A and B are shown apart, each in its own frame.
Chain A
Amino acid sequence: MTGLWVALAAIAIALVFGTFRALTDGRFRGTHKPAGHPSLVEEGRHPSLVEEGRRARLETTAWTQLGAAATSTELGERATLVQFSSAFCAPCRVTRRVLSDVAETTPGVVHLEVDAEHHLDATRRLGILRTPTTLILDPTGREIARAAGAPRKDQVLATIPARDLT
Chain B
Amino acid sequence: MSTTASARTGARPEAGSGIDPRGPQFNAAVTVVVLVAILVTAGTAVGTVLTAVQAALFAWGAIGGVQTTIHAKVFKALIRPRLASPDHLEDPAPPRFAQAVGLGFAAVALVGFLVGGTTVGTVAIALALVAATLNAVFRFCLGCEVYLLIKRATS
Residues of chain A at the chain B interface (Cβ within 8 Å): 2-4, 6-7, 9-11, 13-15, 17-18, 21-22, 69-74, 76-77, 85-90, 93-94, 96, 99-100, 103-104, 106-120, 123-124, 128-131
Q: How many residues of B contact A (CB 8 A)?
A: 54
B79: interface (CB < 8 Å): no
A77 to B126, CA, bound (A): 50
B84: interface (CB < 8 Å): no
B21: interface (CB < 8 Å): yes
A22 to B134, CA, bound (A): 11
Q: A112: shortest Cβ distance to chain B, in Å?
A: 6
15 more CB-based (< 8 A) A-B contacts, given A4-B40, A11-B130, A90-B141: A3-B39, A3-B122, A7-B40, A10-B129, A10-B133, A15-B137, A21-B140, A69-B9, A73-B5, A88-B98, A96-B14, A113-B8, A115-B9, A120-B155, A130-B148
* Total number of residue pairs linking A and B with CB closer than 8 Å: 161
Checking A3, A11, A70, A129 against B148 with a beta-carbon cut-off of 8 angstroms, the contacting residue is A129
Which residue on B lies nearest to A13, using beta carbons?
A: B130
Can you identify 24 A-B contacts, CB atoms within 8 angstroms? A2-B42, A2-B122, A6-B39, A7-B36, A11-B32, A15-B137, A18-B140, A21-B138, A22-B138, A69-B10, A72-B9, A76-B3, A88-B141, A90-B90, A93-B90, A108-B3, A114-B9, A115-B9, A115-B11, A118-B10, A119-B10, A120-B155, A124-B152, A129-B152
